[in-house]
Amino acid sequence: MPVEKVKFKSGGIHCAGDLYIPEVRRAGSRGPALVIGHGFSVVKEALPEEAGYFQRAGYVVLAIDYRSFGESEGEPRGQLFPLNEVEDYRNAISYLETRAEVDPGRIGIWGSSFGGAVVIYTAAADRRAKAVVAQVPVVNGRRWMQSLRTSDQWLALLDKLEEDRRRRFQTGEGARVPVSGMASQSVFCAMPADAPIIAFFEEAKKSLKTWRADLVLESVEKIIEFSPESVIHQISPRPLCMVVTAGYDMIHPIEHILDAYRKANEPKKLALLPYDQLGLYTEPGRGDAMRVAIDWFNQYL
């Protein structure tokens, strides 16, 4: 599958993207396009399968690395500031508008996990996102961060964030924190998780050469301040589809997503798929989720 490596400006720096162009678009006709992004610290190297589904369905696809991740510029590395990632999506839309293969009136956005959070907020802010699919999205940063921890762990996290804010004020440099760790062992990290999620990130170390296992601790502070569900109603009258795992999912609690879905206005769709928390990243779950997304984009783009 041929991929064009591109760069686009966002926040004064260059973000990296992988551009997938269907053969029909190479003939000179304009058509629909998508910006796609992954979740919590994950890079665009993890998205060729999803991009391939969309490309084969006739979409120009731009898979992006958020600033300070993967092949994108930005220092310090691993600065997961959600509103910056929203800006990266919006600037990726601007880049697609310049492409001869793209109809600028038919651009959609797709994101998974924390990328699902980012696309909800992006769609609420930017009318150029004509349709959105949020796959297992985080919908409220504070509620999400708290749900992953015991009461004592939550208070310890808040203490650490206050310490880090004082440190940044005094030295100009903040602490770093592992992306994930075992919740049952009270490992201090950005996203406490269970054994399957830890194994997912261990595999990322091996297979994703640009992925790194730590973040700037300030990222957690910014995530706690981030609430896509507070703006989800603003997406309408543009269409929103949320694709959700109906099985066990520690990282994407279904009750959070259902609460946010109720706040969204029409047109909207909730697709409950019979998989656990990682089931949409391998077959057959990935294919099922992609077919839901493609059907939605086909209907509205």
The predicted-structure confidence for 185-229, as pLDDT tens digits, reads as follows 989 999 999 999 999 999 999 999 999 999 999 999 999 999 999
| CA quadruple 173, 174, 175, 176: dihedral sign | negative
Structure tokens at 229: 């569900």
State CA 56 to chain mean position distance: 22
Percent of the chain exceeding pLDDT 90 equals 96
Q: In the structure, what pLDDT confidence band is assigned to residue 2 with cuts at 50, 70 and 90?
A: confident
pLDDT of residue 274: 98
* Domain ranges across the chain: 4-140+227-300
Can you give the pTM of this predicted structure? Answer: 0.97
Q: pLDDT tens, 38-70?
A: 999 999 999 999 999 999 999 999 999 999 999
Structure tokens at 104: 């600028």
Render 155-201 in DSSP notation, one character per residue.
HHHHHHHHHHHHHHHHHS---EEESEEEGGGT--SSEEE-HHHHHHH
Distance CA 99, CA 246 (A): 38
Q: In the structure, what pLDDT confidence band is assigned to residue 26 with cuts at 50, 70 and 90?
A: confident
Query: Given a cut of 80, is residue 27 above it in pLDDT?
Result: no
Q: In the structure, what pLDDT confidence band is assigned to residue 272 with cuts at 50, 70 and 90?
A: very high
pLDDT of residue 53: 98
Residue 56's Cβ-count burial label (10 Å; 0-12, 13-18, 19+) is: middle
pLDDT of residue 28: 76
Beta bridge partners of 166: none
> From the CA atom positions of the chain, what is the Rg in Å?
18
Measured between alpha carbons, how far is residue 236 from residues 20, 123, 239, 260 in Å? 28, 9, 6, 14
**Angle value at C-alpha 189, between 183 and 192, nearest 5 degrees:** 30
Q: Are strands 102-112 and 132-135 parallel, antiparallel or unpaired?
A: parallel
Cis preceding-peptide flag for 284 (omega within 30 of 0): yes
Q: In the structure, what pLDDT confidence band is assigned to residue 112 with cuts at 50, 70 and 90?
A: very high
4-140+227-300 CATH fold: Rossmann fold (3.40.50)
Distance CA 75, CA 84 (A): 13
pLDDT of residue 1: 65
